[in-house]
């Protein structure tokens, strides 16, 4: 995974308000179309990005999303890193369980987003913020 080469400059979106979630969705869609993801894969990635951007805003107290086109040598993909300096997640297994929520949502954000992407990596601890990296490859 670390051997993947980034193509072009990463594009950054600050997530501080409601409308920034919309901006993340639009940026991810544009990049996904340019990277020639299939329509279904575009839709899955944009939906996952929407869930994670909202989590960054609601649970992380705001942060940022960084979108990069990556190349594994065999195929192209899109990598998005969501980072915040919020309270972090104390019990990761619980947070990744379908239906678990602390914010009054459906509890599908994290677990659902994970099912929509090809690679999902989460780095968090209580009091240390959260950093989620997702990748979707073109088929």
Closest CA to 116 of 92, 101, 135: 135
CA distances to 35, 86, 118, 120, 134 from 115, in Å:
21, 24, 8, 9, 11
Q: Which of residues 2, 5, 19, 126 is near another protein by CB under 8 A?
A: 19
Under the criterion CB under 8 A, does residue 44 sit at the interface with another protein?
yes
- Whether the CB-CB separation of 63 and 84 falls below 8 Å is answered with yes
Q: Which of residues 35, 46, 65, 95 is near another protein by CB under 8 A?
A: 46
Under the criterion CB under 8 A, does residue 112 sit at the interface with another protein?
yes
Choices 1-9, 42-50, 63-71, 124-132; region in contact with another protein by CB under 8 A: 42-50
What distance in Å separates the CA atoms of residue 121 and residue 131, rounded to the nearest whole number?
8
What distance in Å separates the CA atoms of residue 88 and residue 119, rounded to the nearest whole number?
20
Nearer to another protein, 111 or 133 (CB): 111
Return residues touching another protein (CB under 8 A).
Answer: 18-19, 21-22, 25-26, 29, 39-40, 42-44, 46-47, 50-51, 54, 98, 105-106, 108-109, 111-113, 115-116
């Amino acid at each position: 995974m670390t051997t993947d080469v980034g193509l072009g400059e990463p594009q950054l979106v600050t997530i501080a308000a409601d409308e920034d979630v919309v901006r993340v969705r639009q940026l991810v869609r544009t990049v996904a179309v340019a990277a020639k993801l299939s329509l279904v894969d575009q839709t899955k990635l944009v939906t996952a990005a929407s869930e994670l951007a909202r989590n960054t805003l609601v649970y992380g107290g705001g942060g940022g999303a960084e979108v990069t086109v990556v190349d594994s040598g065999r195929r192209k993909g899109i990598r998005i890193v969501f980072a915040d300096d919020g309270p972090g997640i104390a019990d990761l297994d619980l947070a990744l369980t379908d239906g678990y929520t602390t914010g009054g949502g459906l509890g599908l954000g994290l677990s659902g987003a994970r099912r929509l992407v090809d690679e999902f990596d989460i780095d968090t601890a209580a009091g240390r913020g959260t950093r989620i990296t997702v990748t979707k490859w073109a088929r």
